[in-house]
Amino acid sequence: MSRKFSFTVPYSVPVEDLHRALVDDAVWQQRFAAADTATIELSHPDGPDSIRLEMTETPGQDKVPGLVRKVLKSDLVLSRIDSWQPLHGETAKGSFTGRTGGINTEMSGTYELRPTAEGSEIEVVGTVTVKVPLVGGAIEPLAEQLHQRVLNSERKFIEGWCSPASPSTQA
């Protein structure tokens, strides 16, 4: 069984600034600098103004929902690959895939970055599948919520990065 989902992540920064941050290695290196159980690999296989991020994280047991802990075969390891293409006009396309170790979960979908009156937004459309008998359908919404929380956390970090008072934007 799989579950389709979609949501939008609003940003208070213009499309050009957001895209510049999304494809900047320094943003992601700083974002993950303090993450003790996370790794990140950055590449640019599609050329300038694009990026491919391969991320892994092993969350502490206290961060794993009880239902998930009950069916884990080993430590939960989250793996995610995000890709962003260059900006075309006022939009950019992206994609994501995600997997977990310790429980058989797969997630994939697309991103679309576009302008809004307040700044910009990323529309997220995807599918999540949890292949665990009996409880997989109950875990799928939790995986979707986790992805949404991660993207909202990234939003807060990137908006801070793009703010004029941020040390990263000071000359």
Query: In this predicted model, what pLDDT tens digit does every residue of 124-168 receive, in sequence order?
Result: 999 999 887 767 777 788 888 888 988 999 999 999 999 866 555
Per-run averaged pLDDT (10 residues), the chain, 171 residues: 92 96 96 87 94 88 67 76 96 95 88 97 95 76 86 93 64 38
Dist CA 119 CA 121 (whole Å): 7
The one-character DSSP state at 11 is: E
Handedness of CA 58, 3, 127, 21 (dihedral sign): negative
Which DSSP state fits 64? S
What percentage of the chain carries pLDDT values higher than 90? 58
Question: What is the DSSP code (8-state) at residue 54?
Answer: E
Class of domain 2-164: alpha beta
Asked if 22 contacts 9 with a C-beta cutoff of 8 angstroms, the reply is no
CA pair distance 95, 165, nearest whole angstrom: 31
Parse the chain into domains and list their residue ranges. 2-164
Can you read off the two tokens belonging to residue 148?
Answer: 């949404």
Q: Per the confidence metrics, is the pTM higher than 0.75? A: yes
